[in-house]
């Protein structure tokens, strides 16, 4: 609502709305609602990718940007490969989701300097999802949830989305 009321770009509030739908799905039982939740977040990341590409249009990406993108994508792909043996039927949805969130991160890294808070928020979002994936797919089914991991997921997710929103509404903040 803040993004809409503040006159933020429609792609921002579309991404935030899709994320809210994803949150609603993920609040349900994972065996039924995980895939629809991932679908909603996939759409949110597509909105962010398009928005970040628009913001970065015409920017020249030097070697530090390309190196950052390379490290992110290589590290993310290695992490997803590490998760693969535990994914079961979720293997291909997780691979697709991983690809789009890494594309979102790479697009955020390429943003010009005045959007650095947006970049930070995108990287926090990715970190949140990496911790969540570990909890969903690597934690034994009979093990209780890891409270520290749960707090980290929510902290990184909430403040990541807040940083993206604040950064888009207040460039160079």
Q: How far apart are CA 158 and CA 81, in angstroms?
A: 26
Q: What is the dihedral of CA 24, 50, 8, 120, to 10 degrees?
A: 80
Q: Which residue has the tokens 């597509």?
A: 46
Give tens-digit pLDDT for 32-59: 999 999 999 999 999 999 999 999 887 7
DSSP 59: -
Residue 48: enclosing H or E segment and its boundaries? helix 30-55
DSSP 56: T
Beta strands in 15-155 (DSSP E): none
pTM (2 d.p.):
0.93
> Can you read off the two tokens belonging to residue 111?
């943003």
Domain range holding 138? 2-169
Whether the predicted pLDDT of 129 surpasses 90: yes
The Cα-based distances of 165 to 20, 99, 133, 147 in angstroms read 14, 22, 24, 27
- Domain total of the chain: 1
Q: What is the dihedral of CA 117, 43, 105, 158, to 10 degrees?
A: 40
Q: How far apart are CA 153 and CA 58, in angstroms?
A: 34
pLDDT band for position 65 (50/70/90)? very high
Q: Give the residue among 22, 34, 155 at the shortest CA–CA distance from 89.
A: 34
Give tens-digit pLDDT for 69-119: 999 999 999 999 999 999 999 999 999 999 999 999 999 999 999 999 999
């Amino acid at each position: 609502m803040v993004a809409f009321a503040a006159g933020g770009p429609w792609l921002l509030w579309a991404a935030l709305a899709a994320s809210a739908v994803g949150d609603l799905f993920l609040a349900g039982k994972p065996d039924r609602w995980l895939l629809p939740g991932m679908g909603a977040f996939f759409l949110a990341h597509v909105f962010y990718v398009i928005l970040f590409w628009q913001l970065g249009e015409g920017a020249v990406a030097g070697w530090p940007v390309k190196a950052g993108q390379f490290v992110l994508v290589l590290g993310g792909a290695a992490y997803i490969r590490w998760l693969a043996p535990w994914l079961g039927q979720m293997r291909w949805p997780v691979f697709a989701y991983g690809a789009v969130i890494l594309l979102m991160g790479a697009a955020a890294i390429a943003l010009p300097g005045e959007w650095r808070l947006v970049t930070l928020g995108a990287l926090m979002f990715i970190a949140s999802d990496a911790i969540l994936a570990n909890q969903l797919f690597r934690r034994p089914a009979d093990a209780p949830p890891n409270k520290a991991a749960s707090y980290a997921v929510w902290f990184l997710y909430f403040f990541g989305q807040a940083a993206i929103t604040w950064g888009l509404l207040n460039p160079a903040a």
